[in-house]
Amino acid sequence: MYTNLSTIEIKPTSTHQYSIIWLHGLGADGHDFEGIAPELHLKAEAHTHFIFPNAPIQPVTINGGMEMPAWYDILERSLERKVDIKGIYQSATYIEQLIAQEIASGIPAEHILLAGFSQGGVIALQAGLNFPQPLAGIVALSTYFPTVDNLRTHPAIANKTTPILMGHGILDSVVNIETAKEAYNTLHELGYSIQWHDYLMEHSVCVEEIQHIADFINKKFI
């Protein structure tokens, strides 16, 4: 099964052992986090395949229906109240297909990590926690998880112990930190292996957060 998503990729310079699929936020593209790869200084960087998929182009309601790269529609600014569930599920399916492609190339699921920023973080959590095989980990940055309550009624067992890193800016005016913390609290309550960090920043990524991400990945990719 192959997805129609286009991707930006950084190929491993040595034997391919690990894969990181990194999802951008609303209105950006796969190049948005391409530059973070060398900043992580991963121990297994030479063996890691970085994949930065481009979200589909679609109209976004809160932006007057303007078409832009989006993993799902944003229906209103109160993110958690009215949600494009169908769009979230569709994009999660695309990412599951990317994971399946890496597995088909010989990389075990437990050597594949998902990361996402903002909208991309929603899809990383949705796809990762519902994938039928255990993954290496999930990094969810400046994001929330509007479908988290589905894990109460339809628990996904394979990734129940998969480590999750959530990071958020306390000055974030795009995704309110309280909304993000609710997702963290729910996942923690449900018994997921999750850690939380917050930073003095807006809707962004900072040096301290990059170090935390690197430490998180280096524990899995050695």
Report the C-alpha gap between 75 and 57 in whole angstroms.
16
List residues with catalytic annotation. 118, 172, 203
Decide: residue 149, CB within 10 A, 0-12 exposed, 13-18 middle, 19+ buried. Answer: exposed
